[in-house]
A and B are shown apart, each in its own frame.
Chain A
């Protein structure tokens, strides 16, 4: 029992509700919302050290023992993601201060972001399948409102599609919950894991696992990503960045959780299925990224490619590949927030997202250009930047598990990432400067801080990878050994 676990969920929720009451006080919103972002991160840091010392931390809400009550479980994987979520959301908030505009601030922008973070943190921490559904809905409903906030034509049109597709996937989520409950009679992750292991993962349970794969693929943008490019390119930069950094990652987290803890008995079927989807995702994502000549579209398709790449680690299912996946997941959350914020700044300066209308920004904004260049190299995986280690481990793991084709696709996808982003870099920053500083539509004043911060974190993650290696290794080992999780939740395995 560890009461710290409830704080990352309760604190942003409470602050968010408080801010709704004080709607007129924008300065209060600006003061309290960063605090509500940082605080869960600090809790996550404490949790990470506690997990390192004494194993997985749990909290049985209301004192009802698992599997009868609702359990919150923090294993190392969840705690790391919690910490990164806190950093990324803080940077996006700092960016929003100078870019989101008075109107949106007045209409509950900050409380909505905090509710989104509540849902994301809850999804990471919960140890109960239905609870996972509830937290998914919490952040999805916040994202529905955030994506429409402002109500421009594009936003309304894309948000309708986004909401409808998510309502359907939520319905399928519940169908999966109902089937799994009918078959196993429990919804607690640890208990499910035991029951599925005891009964053996037969055809029926494997089919149910594919139902969950469809649901989480829709959320993560794994193959079923057709809603993603449209809906991620309509909201303002800060919101798009937080979506790109967090929302798809929660889907990835759920896939990892389900297929390492519960449905891990038939990897030749389920993990192979994920592998094929991951390869197709990378191919289609790469085609999108090199095909478009629009900054927003290129960036969103890069989100899709990385989803496929991270899941290679799960498919190979060795310690090394999972290690790589976790490294890459951390890197990807930070770097996607970074490139989306840089992209939003560029669009703010030039007033367009079409590559052919921009050029020569390096003369007027050298810092922005070089930071974008660092981000590009990091995404491609040039050592010693943060993407390198994840790519190395994932590729090594995939080759070691004889998934040569998958590792090959991953490397090939890196080349396409390089091509698509260097194209952006050359078009936007090289060439003749067509725009003097007076003609610019926006400014970089104030918005540079979060970008510098994220670049710094990304560099630190690359150069100081040794420092977090211990934690990531514990997380990867925890994913490989479901018994750790089960013992922690069900009190030494007894029910």
Chain B
């Protein structure tokens, strides 16, 4: 199970990196978003994966999953959500001003 997850995380990182390296602003933002999701999966895997047990400890329970990674992911998702929202707003604003979403043309020139 862990091996499959590791491959999936690697695949998502590959896609994310490919998107981040492109020139279009929206693609970069999607790339960052995918990388963040990959990281969340990685955190989930870091606690060890078990099928069919809840992150709760009870006397009757036979086993339980580590609740900490899930708590970490919850926080990470919220932060990532906020930052992505901010990035989308900013990219829209800069599209309005610069009339382009091409990062190459946002290099800036020395005269400004």
Contact = CB atoms under 8 A, between A and B. Distances in A.
A160 B25 contact: yes
B15 interface: no
Nearest to B28: A164
B76 A174 contact: yes
A144 B43 contact: no
A182 interface: yes
Nearest to B25: A160
A163 B85 CA distance: 12
Contact of A163 (B42, B69, B86, B106): B86
B22 interface: no
Contact of B32 (A134, A167, A230): A167
Contacts of B93: 151, 156
Chain B interface mostly helix, strand, loop or mixed? helix
Contact of A175 (B20, B39, B69, B90): B39
Contacts of B52: none
B55 to A, nearest CB: 15
Contacts, number: 88
Interface in A277-324: none
A46 interface: no
B68 interface: yes
Contact of A164 (B32, B39, B75, B97): B32
B43 A181 contact: yes
Nearest to B89: A148
A41 B40 CA distance: 37
Interface string A457-487: 0000000000000000000000000000000
A419 interface: no
Chain A interface mostly helix, strand, loop or mixed? helix
A35 interface: no
B91 interface: yes
B45 interface: yes
Contact of B42 (A134, A153, A175): A175
A171 B32 contact: yes
A227 B98 CA distance: 20
A145 B93 CA distance: 13
B112 A178 contact: no
A130 interface: yes
Interface in B59-112: 68-69, 72, 75-76, 79, 82-83, 86-87, 90-91, 93-94, 97-98, 103, 106, 108, 112
Given A153-B112, A156-B98, A178-B42, 7 more contacts: A145-B86, A148-B90, A160-B87, A160-B90, A170-B79, A174-B42, A178-B39
Interface of A: 130, 134, 137, 141, 144-145, 148, 151, 153-154, 156-160, 163-164, 167-168, 170-171, 174-175, 177-179, 181-182, 187, 230
10 contacts: A134-B75, A134-B79, A145-B86, A151-B97, A153-B97, A154-B108, A163-B90, A170-B79, A177-B72, A178-B46
